[in-house]
Amino acid sequence: MGSTAEVTMQRPAPVAGAWLHGVVRNIEPVALAMIVGMDGGPVRAVPAAGLIAVVSAAPLNEYGEESLRRNLEDLVWLERAARAHHAVVETLARRGPVVPARLATVHSGDDGVAASLAARRAELVATLDRLTGRGEWGVKGYLVPGAASVNAEAASAGGVGTAYLRRRRAQLTAREEHQQVASAAADAVHAALCDVAVAGRRHAPQDRRLSGAPTPMVLNGAYLVDVTELSRFTDLLGQLGGRHPGVRLELTGPWPAYSFVADRPDPDGAVGESR
Amino acid sequence: MTAVLAPNSADDSLAYRPVALVDLLDRVLATGVVISGDITLSIADVDLVRISLRALVASVGALASPENTG
C-alpha cells in the first residue's frame, strides 16, 4: 500500500441531476453556451455514442422525484418548466433534427444520460434520420355552431309546454347531428392531411376549460411534413377548410417533432406512417 | 375572446409565434421520447401525467371566470 494516489473526488450524493432536453447529432459548444436552460444558466452537452444529449442542471431539491411530483401539480411551475424546456428544444430544432425528450426526464447525473444514449443509439439515430428535413405541424378543428337552432323553430303546434319540449328535443337532435357531421369531417380532414404528410397522429381533443375555445374541438392532429411538401400541405388545408364548413381549422407550427418520437409504437396505431 | 391559457408573448424576444400552453402540454407531456436512466422519474408514467393534468384542469377552472362557460 505504497501509493497515495487517492485523487478521485469523493462525490457525496449528487445535488444536481441532469434534465434532458433532447438528443442531436452534433452541435458546437458556442451555440450551446447561448441557450438558457431550466435553471437560468446555459445548457450543456453530454456526448456519448457519437450523439449529443443536451441537458440542463436540475437541482434535485426541485427536480428530484418527490419534488417533481409535487411541482408537476402546480400550474405555475408546470408552465414555467414546459416553456423553458420547449425554448431549448425549439432552438435546437431550428438548427437541425432533434429528438425531443418528454417533459421531466431527469437523470441523477451525466453518467446516466450517457448510458441511455449508448443503450438506445440505433433507435435515436434512426429517429434523427427520419426527422431530417421535416417539421411537425398541428391542425386543430373546432365545431362551427351552425344551423342547429334554426330547425328547432318549426315546432310550434300544441300548448306552451309541449312546444317547449318539442323544440328542446329538436335542438338536441340537431346538436347531435351537427356533432356527428363535424366528427366525420374531422376524420376526413385527418385522412387527407395524412396523404400529404410523412406521418400523422391525433392527440386527444383539448378540454375547453384549458383551451378557452368557445366550441368543442373535434380534431387535434399532428403531422410530420417534409419541408418540400409544406406548401402542398397548407394549400390542402385551405381546400379542406372550404370543403368542410362544419369545422373551423387552425394551423400551428412548426413544432419540434414532439409527436413523432414515441418510444413505443401506439397499440391502436395512432402513430401511422402513411407512406 | 381571450383564451384561458393565452399565449405568453412577453418571454419570447424573437418575434416567433407565441405558443399556447395547452398546445405545448399536448406535446411535452403526452408524447416525446422517454429515455430511462438511473433515477429517471416515474413522471413518464401515464398515471402521473394524468394526475397533473387533472390538477391543471382544476386550477384553471378555479381561475376562469364563471360567466365564461357559454
- ipTM of predicted assembly, 2 dp: 0.79
Q: Which residue of A has its CA nearest to B3?
A: A212
Q: Is the confidence at residue B68, as pLDDT, over 50?
A: no
How far apart, in whole angstroms, are the C-alpha atoms of residue A62 and residue A84?
15
How far apart, in whole angstroms, are the C-alpha atoms of residue A126 and residue A43?
25
Mean of all residue pLDDT scores within chain A:
84
Query: Which of the two residues, A128 and B21, has the higher pLDDT score?
Result: A128
In chain A, what residues touch B11 (CB-CB under 8 Å)? 83
Q: Is the confidence at residue B39, as pLDDT, over 70?
A: no
| CB contact at 8 A, A140 and A240 | no
Mean of all residue pLDDT scores within chain B:
49
Residue from the list A23, A116, A206 with its beta carbon closest to the beta carbon of B26: A206
Residue A208 is predicted with a pLDDT of 78
Residue from the list B27, B42, B59 with its beta carbon closest to the beta carbon of A255: B27
What is the distance in angstroms between the CA of the first residue and the CA of the last residue of chain A?
A: 66
B1 and A212 within 8 Å at the Cβ level: the answer is yes
pLDDT, mean of residues B25-41: 53
| CB contact at 8 A, A142 and A247 | yes
Task: Choose among A242, A183, A194: nearest CA to A218.
Answer: A183
What's the pTM value of the predicted model, to 2 decimals?
0.76
| CB contact at 8 A, A1 and A29 | no
Name the helix (H) or strand (E) containing A249. strand A247-255
Coil, strand or helix: which one is A42?
strand
**Which residues of chain A fall below pLDDT 50?**
1-6, 11, 14, 147-153, 155, 264-275
Residue from the list A86, A127, A209 with its beta carbon closest to the beta carbon of B28: A86
In chain A, what residues touch B18 (CB-CB under 8 Å)? none
Residue B59 is predicted with a pLDDT of 52
Q: Which residue of B has its CA nearest to A20?
A: B35
Q: Which residue of A has its CA nearest to B56?
A: A75
**A84: CB partners within 8 A, 6+ apart:** A36, A37, A38, A56
- Rounded to a whole number of angstroms, the distance from the CA of A243 to the nearest CA of chain B is 25
How many C-beta atoms surround the C-beta of residue B65 within 10 A?
A: 7
In chain B, what residues touch A202 (CB-CB under 8 Å)? none
Please identify which residue in the block is written with the cell numbers 340537431.
A174
- Rounded to a whole number of angstroms, the distance from the CA of A3 to the nearest CA of chain B is 33
How far apart, in whole angstroms, are the C-alpha atoms of residue A234 and residue A230?
6
Q: What is the pLDDT of residues A234-268, one digit of tens each?
A: 999 999 999 999 999 999 999 999 999 865 444 44
Query: Which of the two residues, B55 and A22, has the higher pLDDT score?
Result: A22
A203 and B26 within 8 Å at the Cβ level: the answer is yes
Residue A16 is predicted with a pLDDT of 81
A102 and B55 within 8 Å at the Cβ level: the answer is no
Residue from the list A101, A113, A203 with its beta carbon closest to the beta carbon of B33: A101
Residue A174 grid coordinates: 340537431
In chain B, what residues touch A140 (CB-CB under 8 Å)? 23
Residue A157 is predicted with a pLDDT of 54
How does residue B58 score in pLDDT terms, banded at 50, 70 and 90? Answer: low
How far apart, in whole angstroms, are the C-alpha atoms of residue A125 and residue A113?
16
How does residue B17 score in pLDDT terms, banded at 50, 70 and 90? Answer: low
pLDDT, mean of residues B48-69: 46
How many C-beta atoms surround the C-beta of residue A78 within 10 A?
A: 23
Question: Which site among B5, B19, B35, B39 would you substitute to test the A interface, given the most A Cβ atoms closer than 10 Å to its Cβ?
Answer: B35
User: Which among A256-260, B5-9, B11-15 has the top mean pLDDT?
Assistant: A256-260
**A33: CB partners within 8 A, 6+ apart:** A42
Residue from the list B11, B27, B41 with its beta carbon closest to the beta carbon of A106: B41
How many C-beta atoms surround the C-beta of residue B60 within 10 A?
A: 19
B28 and A85 within 8 Å at the Cβ level: the answer is yes
| CB contact at 8 A, A244 and A142 | no
Query: Which of the two residues, A34 and B56, has the higher pLDDT score?
Result: A34
